[in-house]
């Protein structure tokens, strides 16, 4: 590739200028053609190669034989040329062409990977629960997270000053005191107000499943957060009985946790259901034999449920007379999403779900 170096005609300034600017033009032209790492390496060897590089040949042909008084101007130009070559190689401004200064864009470098997102584990669990009920003919309903006292409490049969309100330490919005109690705004403490809102909009029969965020003024620990998520369900029709409640929930638990899971119901209390129950499932970790996860009882408490209290239908009937407690009946249930997701994925601290820590979240990708 190296052409021989022409003999210098003279060492005067004009001759040096001409000889070196011809070489500088060659450097520019060569640099402009550098489109790959290999071409760049070849260019480096052609010019800077220790034995056959053109710079070495220039030095041999011109510098070594120069008369003493020409050494200095020759040396200066020689160093300038060397600098131009090095600039062309490092992608500096030795050349005017952008691609020529190769290295500015190295297509062989690995790219920046943008990973594709996946469902958050809580979203995934919510969707699983919702789809189990959708398959049974339930439709989706949602409602506001900022709720009135009426929908969150009063219409659900928590009268003002009812002690049951204390069990749901409520986060209330500031500066609501001038409003009548039922209009005051608060962060909903459960998804049950969406039962009322939906019944007001739709006459029975009704089957809805309600996912959503809820808020309680709770001291946070490994299993409690002030914000968490629930999935609620409501079924209203003629002749709905407690057997329908048990059959529906038993089927849903088998669909979620496997067909060998058993359910059992204990008396409980909620102001808006009568009778009320807590439902337990046989421990999914030990199959009911007893282990640390189920505190050696063989059972895990999973949700609250009950038959819709006729008083609740009474509140709804003010707007939707078809909810006549003498003609219809229904059941409702509500469960915490985090608790179920913690069981499914073996997560021991609920805060992990909200930590936005990629090391935790990537396990679900
Ligand atoms: N809303 C109740 C809670 O948050 C759960 C529940 C829903 C109980 C529906 C019965 C019926 O604790």
Looking at every residue in the chain, the average pLDDT score rounds to 91
Residue-level pLDDT at 64: 83
Pair (151, 201) in one structural domain: yes
Query: Domain span at residue 58?
Result: 13-101
Pair (160, 220) in one structural domain: yes
The band of 3, judged by pLDDT with boundaries at 50, 70 and 90, is low
Pair (186, 74) in one structural domain: no
* Range with lowest mean pLDDT among 130-134, 228-232, 356-360: 356-360
Residues 315-331: what's their mean pLDDT?
A: 97
Pair (264, 339) in one structural domain: yes
Compute, in angstroms, the gap from residue 163 CA to the centroid of ligand 1: 16
Pair (239, 326) in one structural domain: yes
Pair (82, 126) in one structural domain: no
* Range with lowest mean pLDDT among 60-64, 144-148, 267-271: 60-64
Residue-level pLDDT at 94: 41
- CB 192 less than 6 A from any atom of ligand 1: yes
Beta strands per DSSP E along the chain: 139-140, 146-148, 185-187, 206-215, 227-237, 263-270, 273-282, 299-308, 329-336
Q: Beginning with the edge strand found earlier in the chain, give each strand of the sheet holding 206-215 in spatial order.
A: 139-140, 206-215, 227-237, 329-336, 299-308, 273-282, 263-270
- CB 265 less than 6 A from any atom of ligand 1: no
Residue-level pLDDT at 168: 63
Pair (360, 302) in one structural domain: yes
8 domain-assigned: no
Compute, in angstroms, the gap from residue 276 CA to the centroid of ligand 1: 9
Q: Which residue's alpha carbon is nearest to atom 6 within ligand 1?
A: 334
* Range with lowest mean pLDDT among 65-79, 161-175, 180-194, 259-273: 161-175
- CB 190 less than 6 A from any atom of ligand 1: yes
Pair (201, 269) in one structural domain: yes
Pair 102, 44: CB distance under 8 Å:
no
Q: Is the pLDDT of residue 48 over 80?
A: yes
Pair 87, 94: CB distance under 8 Å:
yes
Q: Is the pLDDT of residue 133 over 70?
A: yes
Pair 329, 273: CB distance under 8 Å:
no
Domain limit, last residue, from 101, 136, 153: 101
* Range with lowest mean pLDDT among 163-167, 234-238, 245-249: 163-167
4 domain-assigned: no
Q: Which residue's alpha carbon is nearest to atom 5 within ligand 1?
A: 334
Residue-level pLDDT at 161: 84
The model's pLDDT over 251-291, given as tens digits with 9 standing for 90+, comes to: 999 999 999 999 999 999 999 999 999 999 999 999 999 99
Pair (169, 97) in one structural domain: no
Compute, in angstroms, the gap from residue 174 CA to the centroid of ligand 1: 26
Over pLDDT 90: what percentage of the chain? Answer: 62
Counting the structural domains of the chain, the total is 2
91 domain-assigned: yes
Atom of ligand 1 nearest to the CA of 233: 9
178 domain-assigned: yes
Compute, in angstroms, the gap from residue 232 CA to the centroid of ligand 1: 7
> What does the alpha-carbon distance between residue 338 and residue 353 come to, in Å, rounded to a whole number?
8
Residue-level pLDDT at 103: 59
Compute, in angstroms, the gap from residue 125 CA to the centroid of ligand 1: 18
Per-residue H/E/C for 176-211: CCCCCHHHCEEECCCCCHHHHHHHHHCCCCEEEEEE
Question: Which comes out higher in pLDDT, residue 47 or 276?
Answer: 276
Q: Which residue's alpha carbon is nearest to atom 3 within ligand 1?
A: 190
Over pLDDT 70: what percentage of the chain? Answer: 95
Highest mean pLDDT among 29-33, 46-50, 256-260, 356-360: 256-260
Compute, in angstroms, the gap from residue 342 CA to the centroid of ligand 1: 20
Pair (126, 53) in one structural domain: no
Residue-level pLDDT at 223: 92
Torsion, Cα 318 320 322 324, to 10 degrees, reads -30
Residues 85-100: what's their mean pLDDT?
A: 61
Compute, in angstroms, the gap from residue 306 CA to the centroid of ligand 1: 9
Q: Which residue's alpha carbon is nearest to atom 4 within ligand 1?
A: 190
Q: Which two tokens stand for residue 73?
A: 């101007």
- How many CA atoms are closer than 13 Å to the CA of 102, on its beta-carbon side? 22
The band of 97, judged by pLDDT with boundaries at 50, 70 and 90, is very low
108 domain-assigned: no
Q: Which two tokens stand for residue 216?
A: 């309680």
Pair (183, 144) in one structural domain: yes
- CB 121 less than 6 A from any atom of ligand 1: no
- CB 273 less than 6 A from any atom of ligand 1: yes
6 domain-assigned: no
Compute, in angstroms, the gap from residue 134 CA to the centroid of ligand 1: 19
Pair 158, 117: CB distance under 8 Å:
no
In this structure, what CATH number is given to the domain that contains residue 260? 3.30.930.10
Atom of ligand 1 nearest to the CA of 195: 9
Pair 168, 191: CB distance under 8 Å:
no
Compute, in angstroms, the gap from residue 332 CA to the centroid of ligand 1: 8
The band of 57, judged by pLDDT with boundaries at 50, 70 and 90, is confident
> What does the alpha-carbon distance between residue 153 and residue 273 come to, in Å, rounded to a whole number?
13
Q: Is the pLDDT of residue 61 over 80?
A: yes
336 domain-assigned: yes
Pair 20, 9: CB distance under 8 Å:
no
The model's pLDDT over 242-252, given as tens digits with 9 standing for 90+, comes to: 999 999 999 99
Residue-level pLDDT at 58: 86
Q: Which residue's alpha carbon is nearest to atom 7 within ligand 1?
A: 334
Compute, in angstroms, the gap from residue 36 CA to the centroid of ligand 1: 67
Residues 137-158: what's their mean pLDDT?
A: 97
Pair (184, 146) in one structural domain: yes
Residue-level pLDDT at 59: 86
Q: Which two tokens stand for residue 262?
A: 């058993």
- CB 334 less than 6 A from any atom of ligand 1: yes
The model's pLDDT over 280-320, given as tens digits with 9 standing for 90+, comes to: 999 999 999 999 999 999 999 999 999 999 999 999 999 99
Residue-level pLDDT at 18: 87
Question: Which comes out higher in pLDDT, residue 267 or 55?
Answer: 267
- CB 229 less than 6 A from any atom of ligand 1: no
Residue-level pLDDT at 99: 45
Compute, in angstroms, the gap from residue 293 CA to the centroid of ligand 1: 23
The model's pLDDT over 196-235, given as tens digits with 9 standing for 90+, comes to: 999 999 999 999 999 999 999 989 999 999 999 999 999 9
- CB 305 less than 6 A from any atom of ligand 1: yes
- CB 232 less than 6 A from any atom of ligand 1: yes
């Amino acid at each position: 590739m190296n052409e021989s170096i022409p003999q210098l005609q003279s060492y005067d300034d004009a001759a040096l200028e001409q000889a070196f600017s011809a070489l500088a033009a060659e450097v520019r032209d060569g640099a402009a053609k550098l489109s790959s790492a290999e071409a760049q390496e070849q260019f480096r060897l052609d010019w800077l190669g220790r034995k056959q590089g053109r710079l070495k040949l220039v030095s041999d042909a011109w510098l070594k034989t120069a008369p003493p008084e020409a050494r200095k101007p020759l040396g200066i130009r020689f160093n300038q040329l060397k600098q131009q070559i090095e600039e062309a190689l490092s992608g500096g401004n030795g050349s005017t062409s952008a691609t020529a200064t190769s290295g500015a864009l190295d297509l062989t470098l690995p790219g920046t990977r943008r990973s594709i997102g996946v469902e958050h584990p809580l979203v995934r669990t919510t969707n699983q629960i919702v789809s189990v009920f959708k398959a049974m003919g339930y439709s989706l309903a949602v409602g506001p997270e900022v709720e009135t006292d009426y929908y969150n409490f009063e219409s659900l049969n928590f009268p003002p000053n009812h002690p049951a309100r204390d069990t749901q330490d409520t986060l209330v919005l500031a500066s609501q005191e001038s409003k009548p109690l039922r209009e005051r705004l608060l962060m909903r403490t459960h998804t049950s107000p969406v039962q009322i809102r939906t019944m007001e909009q739709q006459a029975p029969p009704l089957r809805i499943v309600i996912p959503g965020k809820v808020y309680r003024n709770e001291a946070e620990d490994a299993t409690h957060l002030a914000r968490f998520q629930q999935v609620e369900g409501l079924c209203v029709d003629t002749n709905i009985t407690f057997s329908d409640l048990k059959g529906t929930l038993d089927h849903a638990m088998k669909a979620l946790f496997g067909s060998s899971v058993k359910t059992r119901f204990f008396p409980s209390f909620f102001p808006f259901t009568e009778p009320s129950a807590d439902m337990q499932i046989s421990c999914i970790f030990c199959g009911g034999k007893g282990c640390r996860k189920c505190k050696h009882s063989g059972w895990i408490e999973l949700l609250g449920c009950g038959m819709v209290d006729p008083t609740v239908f009474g509140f709804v009937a003010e707007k939707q007379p078809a909810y006549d407690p003498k003609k219809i009946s229904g059941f409702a249930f509500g469960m915490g999403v985090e608790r179920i997701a913690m069981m499914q994925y073996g997560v021991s601290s609920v805060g992990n779900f909200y930590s936005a820590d990629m090391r935790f979240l990537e396990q679900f990708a």
